[in-house]
Structure 1
Amino acid sequence: MRLSLVMIVKNGESTLRRCLESAAKYVDEIIIVDTGSTDNTKLIALDYQSRVFDYEWTNDFGAARNYALDKSTCEWSLVLDADEYISNDCREALTNHLHSVPAIGKVKLIDKFMGKDGINHEQTYISRLFPTNCRYTGRIHEQIVSDLPRHKVDIEIQHDGYFQKEKSSRNVPILIDEILDHPEDPYFHYQIAKEYRGMGNHEEAYSHLSTAYSKITRREGYAPSIIINLMYSIISTGHLEEGLHIIESEQKFMWNSSDFYFVSALFLLELINSNLEIYGELLPLIEDYYLRALEIGDNEQEGSVIGTGSFAAHHNLGVYYEVTGSINKAQEQYRKAAFYNYEPSLERLKELK
């Protein structure tokens, strides 16, 4: 079975080489469809013996990706964007998938974004490895249409596109059109909120996450992520009055989500600091929520942020113990976080010696 790397690109010279370097060794051909680059994107693509095609952009990612798939000569296709790259050795996983029962391969996408406590990494699973005769639908955040089963494949893809303001400014108008066309679909509100978060526009992100939250049925795979991101947005914007109701309403649904308990603890700290007299009695819940996050641990749930069930929770619990005067307990938690080489905990341990 032969495999194509299939990409659509525009002005990707800053990241394309990194992407191609990570993937070229696994594929039999590289298809690059350029939608109007004015930089050295196409020259970089040619360095990797890519087959490069020009395509007139029509504000439709699905159509552009289908055009790229039309150019593939291989039975299977792997789809990447220029701001992504493969970060693990996936040769065996690719080989096994291509020679097993036909299925859509879901790869782990690790999104890098700026959170309130610094850079965070959110993981999701997306369909990126499939028979080339499959096709996309949707103008943005397009989806593969297929009746084939979907299997997770051990391929890790790093993505830092939410740091690129130009990309977000291109995506937002398309997402607005999708929202106008599908006003009851929470998915596009969820996706545009991610774009606004990357742009630092937390009020717009909050507005769209609130709308998405009001429309979810909780049968959506991304529903937990909407709830968690709304809690972070509430913290970022100071709309604290809503957070307690969400925590109370969603604990049963989110019982196995370390991210939910982690962000709930962060929220409680903000709430208590906003009015100690009214909310001070909630302080012990911060410890309870971090302990619950650690009990659940890091997992493969859709939209989970790496560390909320391990090093980040240990560190924050250490901070809680430190400010409440339990220094020995704080040091114990910092040591557990330091096991992961978590720099903030390593620094606190030095200072507490």
Structure 2
Amino acid sequence: MKKFLLFLGILFIIYLIGINTVPQYIESQRNPVKAIGPHQVSPEAQALYDRLDFISDLHCDALLWGRNLNKREDRGHVDFPRMREANVALEMFTIVSKSPAGQNIQSNSEDAFDNITPLTIAKGESPWNWFSLFNRTISQSEALAAFVENEEEKAIFVKSKADLEKLIEARKSDKQVIGAMLGIEGGHALEGTLENLDAVHAAGVRMIGPTHFFDNEFGGSAHGKNGAGLSDFGKAAVKRMNELGIFIDLAHSSPAILEDVLSITTEPVIVSHTGVRAVMDSPRNLTDEQIQKIAANGGIIGIAFFDMAVGTPELPNIIASMKHVRDLVGVQYVALGSDYDGSVVVPFDITGLPLIAEGLMNAGFTEEEIRAVMGENVKRFFLKNLR
């Protein structure tokens, strides 16, 4: 009996060590940064950046990794202290609940082994989360709420227009106040139950992408097997999202889903992190026709920062992608959509955002246009459409 208890004790110690080391190691491998800060830009670009009132990013997966967002880390791409260093006012934190083994841009099976399950166990999460995508989603929602609460009056969980107005007003006198919004990457997190939409809305979710890297109950992914449009469940979910005030994020959706959503939604859509095919021809990127339809809907397009969306070298291609959307439909539809902490290699973490402003300046964007791209478009979009 003593030997058995000793054995259990050793296993428990190994488990505790794993909780403290394995997730950190995995993240360090999955979220590398090509250039570590501090990042230098020209005095003129830095002066312009310092004049920006509202900087915002539409996509970040930092909640997945179990990091303490209240603490500045030297791994990953985003946390609250680094948001403040970069003068970022608002970040959209997105929940990833499932990721297929062998994930790729071309084709993934919904039956592939789920990479998030072992990560969930390694992080020491409740067994209730091990095999429930919905429970993982609620857990990450609660984590963001707790991080915001830990900041006391220095952070605001933005769930409504009133919350956003409070953030804007607070930052007039204190730039240390930051805002966090919550989204879901992939409607599979709802586990095929419409009632779960109400539950995630109550938890603070204000954006959901119908699909991620594989087909699900909503319909087809841009990287799945069937290329299908919205299922009956998907159509019902879109209508309920409209009723609740949850934005539809068309990043990763099949072209058929994009068409279906735009034909039935009564609200503007978001593409939170994407590239454009005119710069990089990829199934995850938008065609000119799709960009024009999203603009006609009153939507907004976040340009991603990683090579599979924009190609290499990343920075000039990020700028080229933004310029293409501006020239095609207008600068008012362009936003930052980094995909930070999304298992991607990025050229710089959030503290490198002045490099974007400098790149836009060098490409001939006016200061007003740079303000729009860096966050004013997002502010305007949410002030108009958040409830």
* Alignment TM-score > 0.5, same fold: no
For the pair shown, the structure with the greater C-alpha radius of gyration is: 1
Task: Specify which structure has the higher proportion of strand.
Answer: 1
TM-score, with structure 1 as normaliser: 0.32
TM-score (norm 2): 0.30
Higher relative contact order (CA 8 A, sep 6+): 2
